[in-house]
Homo-oligomer: A and B are copies of this chain.
């Protein structure tokens, strides 16, 4: 048995999310079926982050145990041929130690959230960016974002379906910057609560529109109450960027 680490790029649009679902296609199921067709083995693919429906990944980290002997090249090329026509690409495959775990060994996760901030809707990036047609104040958003960095009880920014034991998380970075017609929000932490990035971005968008003051972010955080969340941003603008390991 060899444990394989896979690096995976995917377009989240056609998927119900990373995790296997009864009611539609998932990235996990697509990869597991490709491995089964290649090796005859029924294995599980575990990811660093179980992204929601419509969320994209530039470089998701995952692992799978495979009995059959195969080279890195063959595994990567074979999987890329077999996942078609789904928009998934295995960009790297490498052997790792048997105790390496894509989820539990991961010590850092990075996300990018893209907002298209212009009047006209996106044509080239439809389904891959959140369109906000009114002008956003990126400086006010950055001011609000800074209030979320650090160790906090993120109950307000957590989905009611979140399975984490604790709402306490340490947010290492939440940067807001304007990039041409877009606003990019980069988030980094050891781990995130379910919907945490989208919930933080939704409230920052309210600040950007002037509906909230930056300090309303602090009030929402201090409330520790999901009902005080201003807005949950849509999945389409969110990208899993990178998983970090020791």
Which of A's residues lie within 8 Å of B, judged by CB? 9-11, 56, 58, 76-77, 80, 87-92, 118-124, 126, 128
* A180 vs chain B, min Cβ distance (A): 11
Contacts of A124 in B (CB 8 A): 9-11, 56, 58, 87, 128
- Chain B's closest residue to A79 (CB) is B120
Number of copies of this protein chain within its complex: 2
Contact partner of A120 among B9, B11, B58, CB < 8 A? B9
User: Is the pair B9, A123 in contact by a Cβ cutoff of 8 Å?
Assistant: yes
Q: In whole angstroms, what is the CA distance A10 to B124 when docked?
A: 6
* A68 vs chain B, min Cβ distance (A): 21
- Chain B's closest residue to A83 (CB) is B123
Additional pairs, 12, CB under 8 Å, beyond known A76-B120, A124-B128: A9-B123, A11-B123, A11-B124, A11-B126, A58-B124, A76-B119, A77-B119, A80-B120, A87-B126, A89-B120, A89-B121, A90-B120
* A135 vs chain B, min Cβ distance (A): 14
* A61 vs chain B, min Cβ distance (A): 15
List, sorted by A's number, 30 A–B pairs whose CB atoms are closer than 8 Å: A9-B120, A9-B122, A9-B123, A9-B124, A10-B123, A10-B124, A11-B123, A11-B124, A11-B126, A56-B124, A58-B124, A76-B119, A76-B120, A77-B119, A80-B120, A80-B121, A87-B123, A87-B124, A87-B126, A88-B123, A89-B120, A89-B121, A89-B122, A89-B123, A90-B120, A91-B118, A91-B119, A91-B120, A92-B120, A124-B128
Contacts of A11 in B (CB 8 A): 123-124, 126
* A201 vs chain B, min Cβ distance (A): 19
Q: In whole angstroms, what is the CA distance A56 to B122 when docked?
A: 13
Q: In whole angstroms, what is the CA distance A231 to B182 when docked?
A: 36
Contacts of A90 in B (CB 8 A): 120
* A123 vs chain B, min Cβ distance (A): 4
Q: In whole angstroms, what is the CA distance A121 to B121 when docked?
A: 28
Q: In whole angstroms, what is the CA distance A89 to B120 when docked?
A: 6
Q: In whole angstroms, what is the CA distance A77 to B58 when docked?
A: 32
Q: In whole angstroms, what is the CA distance A87 to B128 when docked?
A: 13
